[in-house]
Amino acid sequence: MVSDPAIGIHDLSFSTTEFVLPHATLADHNGTEIGKYHVGLGQQSMSVPAADEDIVTMGATAAEPIITRHGSDRVRTVVFATESSIDQAKSAGVYVHSLLGLPSATRVVELKQACYGATAALQFAVGLVRRDPVQQVLVIASDISKYDLDSPGEATQGAAAVAMLVGSNPALVRIEEPSGLFTADVMDFWRPNYRDAALVDGQESVDAYLRAVLGTWKDYAEQDGRPLDEFTAFCYHQPYAKMAYKAHRHLLHHCERHSGEAAVARAVGRTTAYNTAIGNSYTASVYLALAALLDEADDLTGRPIGFMSYGSGSVAEFFGGTLAPGYREHLRTTAHRGAVDRRRPVDYATYRELHERSFPADGGDHPTPSQTTGSFRLAGLRGHQRVYERRAADSARSSAEAGFRRLRPDGHRPATAHS
Ligand code: HMG
């Protein structure tokens, strides 16, 4: 099932936002019983982007350690997967290419199909590497999940970027053939071009996801994939952590296997650590599940892992991967946990102001307050053009702290969005 040479994920790194909103803060605001968030959805907190943060800054932050470790000599393609696109024409990947100083001899493109985009990018990358095993492809999945304030979807927001280096003889995960595929035209979740926040039919989206799980599995079995029992763990797309449990229970039930709590937890329990703290990161989510599994589990060398990628609308894919010998030496566990732990909690009013923030569309000069502490920031919008900055790490924290204070001048109520 593994091709020769093996092709797959050689390195994986993720980033998330500067700020975090604990679900307890949201529950205090809207009067929801906290058990619904913590137990019913399986979510503890959600990542909240700062004013000077977006899919490009997160994507560059995720990819930078990969380029630092491996260089860019073999990277001839960058595929940026997102459904939070910032431009109808220019790929967000071109900004990342520039921020990271990648060679001009690179093809860069953006891909979209809701939360499924990164899996399409990964599979296309595998195809490119098969054509020329010397080349590597940098896949970046970066998204900001946004629903209307006070809507049922609000508690399932989040944001993160995962960068993966795809190449031959991968150090982490060997991607297998076949894949199980499934497409169905359904209006479960969508975002028209004129809207910032997604529209969703919540119950229909859950049902459509579950139909897709069985659809991909059926095709996977028909393509002579592995029997279910061979898989050690399953990385599902996680719009909220409990969805992985729901999905796997559904699959076990369909396959007439024991679907009790312990069996489901064994298969998906180690994949939720990052998603439960970050929230829905759309197309990055299934690869955050992989990151959690790699960082949380004991040695899984040689063990098959199942991946179920679902994107509303809808497209889904089930495929397998095995963990390469020695993979644990290449993990970024400390950096990953640090990215989650370093986020600064915001109060409800600040979250609300950040949520409602948008640039005026008048072509003027609109600098963003300096709130982030990372290497990359969105400095503003000038003449309809997004302006990004790369800055020294030392100066970042002090300017961000000043910007954060400006955002909350009296310590409670935020200033207007464009102060
Ligand atoms: P809702 O109406 O807020 O919540 O919608 P609910 O009433 O369905 O409750 C949720 C769960 O909490 C239920 O458990 C309750 O019983 C439980 P379940 O029946 O599901 O097992 N609950 C409690 N548990 C313990 N203590 C309590 C308590 N109270 C209730 N006190 C919904 C939930 C997910 C629909 C909503 O948040 C939503 O619309 N979210 C956005 C859409 C979404 O995430 N859909 C998931 C599948 S689609 C997908 O994954 C694709 C997506 O990522 C987009 C893309 O592809 O780009 C979204």
Q: Residue with the nearest Cα to atom 17 of ligand 1?
A: 40
Distance 156 CA to ligand 1 centre (A): 8
Residue 394 binned pLDDT confidence (cut-offs 50, 70, 90): low
Pocket of ligand 1 contains residue 20 by CB under 6 Å? no
| Burial class of 267 by CB neighbour count within 10 A (0 to 12, 13 to 18, 19+) | buried
Residue pLDDT, tens place only, 232-252: 999 999 999 999 999 999 999
Please give the average per-residue pLDDT across 65-90, as a whole number: 98
Pocket of ligand 1 contains residue 150 by CB under 6 Å? no
Q: Please state, in angstroms and as integers, the Cα–Cα distance from residue 94 to each residue in 27, 87, 245, 314, following that order.
A: 39, 11, 37, 27
What pLDDT does residue 392 have?
77
Distance in angstroms (rounded) separating the CA atoms of residues 222 and 228: 13
Distance 394 CA to ligand 1 centre (A): 41
**Residue (of 356, 7, 300, 365) closest to 168 by Cα position:** 7
What pLDDT does residue 40 have?
98
What pLDDT does residue 44 have?
98
Pocket of ligand 1 contains residue 311 by CB under 6 Å? yes
Distance 202 CA to ligand 1 centre (A): 7
In this predicted structure, the answer to whether residue 404 has a pLDDT above a threshold of 50 is: no
Structure tokens that stand for 14 in this block: 């993720």
Pocket of ligand 1 contains residue 152 by CB under 6 Å? yes
- Residue numbers annotated as active site: 83, 115, 237
Token pair 């732990």: residue? 341
What pLDDT does residue 372 have?
97
Structure tokens that stand for 333 in this block: 């566990």
Of the chain, the percentage scoring pLDDT greater than 90 comes to 92
Distance 199 CA to ligand 1 centre (A): 14
Pocket of ligand 1 contains residue 369 by CB under 6 Å? no
Helix (H) or strand (E) holding 254: helix 241-254
What does R_g of the chain's alpha carbons equal in angstroms? 20
Helix (H) or strand (E) holding 62: helix 55-70
Ligand 1 site-directed mutation target among 84, 142, 189, most atoms within 8 Å of CB:
189
Q: Determine the CATH number of domain 7-345.
A: 3.40.47.10
In this predicted structure, the answer to whether residue 418 has a pLDDT above a threshold of 50 is: no
Structural domain spans, the chain: 7-345
Distance in angstroms (rounded) separating the CA atoms of residues 409 and 404: 9
Residue pLDDT, tens place only, 88-142: 999 999 999 999 999 999 999 999 999 999 999 999 999 999 999 999 999 999 9
What pLDDT does residue 405 have?
41
Strand order in the sheet with 173-183: 107-111, 75-81, 136-145, 158-168, 7-16, 173-183, 315-323, 304-311, 233-236
Length of the chain: 419
Q: Residue with the nearest Cα to atom 16 of ligand 1?
A: 40
Residue pLDDT, tens place only, 192-221: 999 999 999 999 999 999 999 999 999 999
In this predicted structure, the answer to whether residue 412 has a pLDDT above a threshold of 60 is: no
